Amino acid sequence: MKVDSQRRRFVLILVAGISLLAALWTGMVRLGWSLPVPAERFPSLHGPLMITGFLGTLIGLERAVALDRYWSYGVPIFTAIATLAMVAGLPLPIGALFAAMGSLLLTAVFVSLYRRYPSEHFITMSLSALSWFLGNLLWLSGAPLYKIAPWWTGFLVLMIAGERLELSRVLRLSYRSRILFFLANGLVLFGFGLSLVAMENAIRLSGLGIVSLSLWLVRYDIAWRNAGRSGLPRFMAVALLLGYLWLGFGGFLWTVYADSFTAGPEYDAMLHAIFLGFVFSMIFAHAPIIFPSITGIMIPFRNSFYLHLALLHVSLVLRIFGDFQETVALRQWGGLFNVVAIMFFLANNLWSAIHAGAPKNP
């Protein structure tokens, strides 16, 4: 890896890190913790900072490295600009515009990858990026965040599902299993499209699709094969399977509480079961593999990784229990320890990287 290229990547990773910290801060404020904010609208940026600033930038950077074309780095650059615009307090349409540009370019990245290597998983990832783009267009148009949330959910759920389909190729999945995969994805996407005209029915339908996709992942993903191994493969398998359970639970909540998909405790539970329970489980699982591929810095597995994984899931149970019991203290403390789990994850991985030695030079 060239030094100048490595430095550029670290700048983008730094912006993603700033966005993550800002998103965690705003999340604490939204839960009712008394923390200072630079502007009145800052807490409302929790979702955009997490989806676009943190996850969008990292996913865009990962795929730019994989495609290895200069133009593909426009994805994390655009999302980084969107992040800085939000943090700086610029008018929201500026951040939304750059987010839309980044997501449109990510769609082009996956189309390019598909043209190089025609595969079903790249079709899924293309649809994932397109879902993000459509959500960003709604954001740019000034739509309320609860109408944008399904599209952003689709971005992450389909992206991860596509990645898992890619990794499951070694299992030589049957034609029937692949059909079931695309039927589940189609149900999710059809529900999102329906949300433009019939929100409640759309959320319920998408929830059924999400449940179906979680069942597919539990049944066909390679995680079960790795669960019996030791070290990193076992840790990844545990994190993945826990994430799939949260995905299914989140989809179940979407079907049952579809009429509450606007605001309130049920809305909090419906989103964070997926965004925290599923998405961050995937992040915890894949970080020791993805981060070295981007930076060249190794992150050897340590048994202490199970601590931040356990803390995330226990605290999320506490938070969602507080949501449905309408117990503010449980929600707040559960949310606080969600943040602690993520910070512990960062510290654990940093500690492992520091003790891994010098960066490799591919």
190-206 residue pLDDT tens: 998 898 888 899 999 99
pLDDT of residue 3: 41
Long-range contacts of 272-276 (CB under 8 A, 24+ apart): 272/316, 272/319, 272/320, 272/338, 273/246, 273/247, 273/249, 273/316, 273/320, 274/153, 274/156, 274/157, 274/210, 274/246, 274/247, 274/250, 275/50, 275/153, 275/156, 276/246, 276/312, 276/316, 276/338
The tokens describing 128, both together, are 């994932």
Q: How far apart are CA 131 and CA 336, in angstroms?
A: 30
Percent with pLDDT over 70 in the chain? 96
pLDDT in tens, 218-268: 998 888 887 778 899 999 999 999 999 999 999 999 999 999 898 888 999
Looking up tokens 């649809």 gives 127
1 pLDDT above the threshold of 50: no
pLDDT of residue 170: 65
Which amino acid would we find at residue 18?
I
pTM, rounded to two decimals: 0.91
4 pLDDT above the threshold of 70: no
The tokens describing 166, both together, are 């890619």
- Listed in sequence order, the residues at least 6 apart from 346 whose beta carbon sits closer than 8 Å to its beta carbon are none
Residue 53 CA: distances (Å) to CA of 35, 81, 95 = 21, 9, 10
SS3 assignment for 18-77: HHHHHHHHHHHHHCCCCCCCCCCCHHHHHHHHHHHHHHHHHHHHHHHHHHCCHHHHHHHH
147 pLDDT above the threshold of 90: yes
> Could you give phi then psi for residue 82, rounded to 5 degrees?
-60, -40
* Alpha carbon distance, N-terminus to C-terminus of the chain: 6
69 pLDDT above the threshold of 80: yes
Which amino acid would we find at residue 179?
I
Q: How far apart are CA 83 and CA 63, in angstroms?
A: 19
86 pLDDT above the threshold of 60: yes
What beta strand segments (E) does 262-311 contain? none
Q: How far apart are CA 361 and CA 56, in angstroms?
A: 26
pLDDT of residue 186: 92
- Tally Cβ neighbours within 10 Å of residue 207: 25
